[in-house]
Structure 1
């Protein structure tokens, strides 16, 4: 979601298909348990899943002094920690279900940090559509996406084969935990609370100078 600020002049957020929620945020983890008991120093090496991710935005809000960041494919962060190529790892997606089994430890849940700070769900991702398309087309795509998510809720195993082809973690149990956590009522329709959460995120990012000023309405009219 964080990256959207940089392309918002050309794209508008749809109400369907987003990933928001409570208890779904990124985790900051480590291998060395001493980091659980001491203040995190600014020379620590941190593996992040991308500069323009909501995860990195939250890390910057919670720990602005941690700046030695290395961008990695999200699924490689755990192994980088195990091999001690980094000191801390910022994990997302299904890795929140697997890190403990690999001998790694949670320092902080940045989703909980955000929820305590704002009282809002955490916006992780969304689907956008080009502003150059006419309003009828934009709303039609939004309706189709909404129906697709509703169908998936009613038929939870309908996409299992497709998901298995693309999942980083092949355990069916982990895949369903991942889906249950990130696909929810906000995926069907952002609604007032979902839009509010996104607005709070971008307002905070603008106030701290972390993203460009948003010059256009970001939501579907």
Structure 2
């Protein structure tokens, strides 16, 4: 079975036991590693049996894939941030986005006081784009959220805070795993059981799993990567359950209310 995931340490952490044969699995697994916006775009071609995907990107391939309740990244108290060189009014500004299909861009469009002009820049290039005045501000995702202040940049808008005002204590939906819709349900459930066991194993062998994830890391800082991983790999990552379903429903409801998307309901296994 071919699995596509991102080079982000939280993804690698969850897949550690499966790819390193630490657990018994129902299938042999091969992996492809690409950034999230590339995977969002490639999902339309059904290249992979399982793929990482954004909550936003999933809407465009819901006829081809189902979301799985395992492997999701929900922000329980964290989410994308908009940063800049100084505290600015975002109205009319050029904002770097990690991609039009990312959850972060849709959250920005949902909650920013004024959407401004969004310019797509690969997520790990956004800080430099701000520093070089290519854009006025940028939407940060992944580990860069923990390092941008080292370059003197400041937070302008915390999208988790805006989400919390809207959704209360529900977590913010970000990244997911999607499995081919045409796969037999028995195989979907076997895969999901394997992945749940892989995530549980990673929690139980945290240091080893973080060491494995470090080979994909952009920072040679074990404790930084451990902190980032545990921000987004949490109890909802094993099975996001009813809380995750409610959060997803509100995510799509808000986007529809803002006339950004048509009403949408995900298919989940």
Normalising to structure 1: TM-score of the pair? Answer: 0.91
Cα drift, residue 160 of structure 1: 3.4
Shift of the 170–211 alpha-carbon distance from structure 1 to 2, 3 Å rule, reads farther
Aligned to 1:58: 107
SS at match of 1:127: strand
1:176 matches 2:230: no
Distance 2:91 2:221 in 1: 36
Cα drift, residue 169 of structure 1: 2.1
RMSD between superposed Cα atoms in Å: 1.5
Distance 2:266 2:118 in 1: 32
Distance 2:166 2:211 in 1: 39
Cα drift, residue 93 of structure 1: 0.9
Alignment of 1:54-93 (within 5 A): 54-63=103-112, 65-93=114-142
Aligned to 1:32: 86
Distance 2:162 2:206 in 1: 31
The superposition leaves residues 86-114 of structure 1 with CA deviations (integer Å, 9 ceiling, x where unpaired) of 11011011111101111000012101110
Distance 2:266 2:100 in 1: 24
Distance 1:97 1:67 in 2: 25
Contact 2:81 / 2:158 at 8 angstroms: preserved in 1? yes
SS at match of 2:182: coil
- Select the residue among 135, 147, 160 that pairs with 2:185: 135
The superposition leaves residues 118-172 of structure 1 with CA deviations (integer Å, 9 ceiling, x where unpaired) of 1121000111111101111111111111000000000012233432221122211
Alignment of 1:33-48 (within 5 A): 33=87, 35=88, 39-42=89-92, 44-48=93-97
Aligned to 1:117: 166
Aligned to 1:194: 244
Contact 1:81 / 1:88 at 8 angstroms: preserved in 2? yes
Contact 2:210 / 2:226 at 8 angstroms: preserved in 1? no
Normalising to structure 2: TM-score of the pair? Answer: 0.75
1:20 matches 2:38: no
Shift of the 213–40 alpha-carbon distance from structure 1 to 2, 3 Å rule, reads closer
Aligned to 1:9: 63
The superposition leaves residues 7-36 of structure 1 with CA deviations (integer Å, 9 ceiling, x where unpaired) of 111111111100013222000111034x1x
Structure with greater contact order relative to length (CA < 8 Å, sep ≥ 6): 1
SS at match of 1:106: strand
Distance 2:260 2:90 in 1: 22
Contiguous gaps of at least 5 residues in structure 2? 1-54
Cα drift, residue 63 of structure 1: 2.1
Shift of the 71–217 alpha-carbon distance from structure 1 to 2, 3 Å rule, reads closer
Which is further off, 104-113 or 165-174? 165-174
Cα drift, residue 213 of structure 1: 4.4
